[in-house]
Structure 1
């Protein structure tokens, strides 16, 4: 298997871990059978369950005008009524995930409809990549308002 194939499998492990944690805490996946572009509306307005999430949810166009799909969009009517987006990034060895962090950061700041958390795993991020992303979050005025 090539490096790209291993990265996809490892990234899927991170996403399955997030999903397991959500389920252990009482969250239910909804919208699984809907087209990705229809999941957000259903998720936001659903009365199906109080604690819910969907995977690969279309949230609109990004900074380049292309479609953005987030890894997880989570709602809890009580504790996170505006929703929370979770993005999972895995980089086990040298590659391009850390090079995509500036693009992700700018999309989060300008295009995401809800607060976002970026989970990073693996040992292959370039030195300084995580510190750079952390600095962007701490200097983002909209992130400060959402705390």
Structure 2
């Protein structure tokens, strides 16, 4: 099916199933879509040597990018075919350093969706539920 005729949920589910390619950003910041439901998405993420700051720790931009992606995709999962979105506000809180070479889970969930705005939240956690970073995002819904 043509992605332009698919809803956001259908596109995200096709990426999760591997029938549509992942966005190229997932090559820069390793993000693998693991679960997609209406208003909720889960990514497996892992920072590596490409994501380090001058001190040798994982750069905060890694968490910010992952959280921007997962919150945006939660909004996208709510949109009809042909409707786009763009982040207009992202508020990120770093709770502890992101470890290098450890698989983490990024979860995005919808808080509210209206005609013009989608509000969502995201978190990066480990397998035990330990919180590494949290974000809220507001996305503008773009109707062509």
Higher helix share: 1
- The reply to whether TM is greater than 0.5 is no
Alignment TM-score, normalising by the size of structure 1: 0.29
**Higher CA-based Rg:** 1
The structure whose RCO (Cα within 8 Å, separation 6+) is larger is 2
Higher strand share: 2
